Amino acid sequence: MLRVLVVGFGDIAGRGIRSILRGPDILVTECGTEGMTAVVAGVRPDVLVLEAGPRGGGALAARLTAGAPGATVVLCSAHRTDLRVYPASGGCFTRPLSERTLVESVRGAG
């Protein structure tokens, strides 16, 4: 089972992401940015899907991945037309933002 933690999205966006990622082999948990470090430690996700916001989300990604070594990070936002993927193996790549690329990026971590 692939464990995905969705962090920092509002209610509507969070529901949309959960709906897109819904599947028998994916367990999606969601939290806000308050207390997220404890949630990351408890869930130990394989993938973090983060709201990048207008500033890009890099600082949030760095803080969360410190508590989830080996996790893939996917940054996306309504403020951008692409998503950035930081695979657990290292590096970074950018993909167009769509339902399909979100699912492929998350499943690629499994």
> Which pLDDT belongs to residue 4?
95
Strand 72-76 vs strand 47-51: parallel, antiparallel, or unpaired? parallel
Query: How do residues 62-95 score in pLDDT, each as one tens digit?
Result: 666 666 778 899 998 888 889 989 888 888 889 9
Q: What is the pTM of this model?
A: 0.87
Considering Cα of 27, then 108, then 20, then 32, what sign does the dihedral take? positive
The rounded distance, in Å, linking the Cα atoms of 58 and 105 is: 18
> Which pLDDT belongs to residue 15?
92
Share of the chain above pLDDT 90, in %: 40
Tokens read off for 6: 């969705």
> Which residues fall within 8 angstroms of residue 100, CB to CB, at 6 or more apart?
none
Give me the mean pLDDT over the 31-60 stretch: 81
> Which pLDDT belongs to residue 42?
87
In sequence order, the β-bridge partners of residue 7 are: 31, 50
Check pLDDT > 60 for residue 110: no
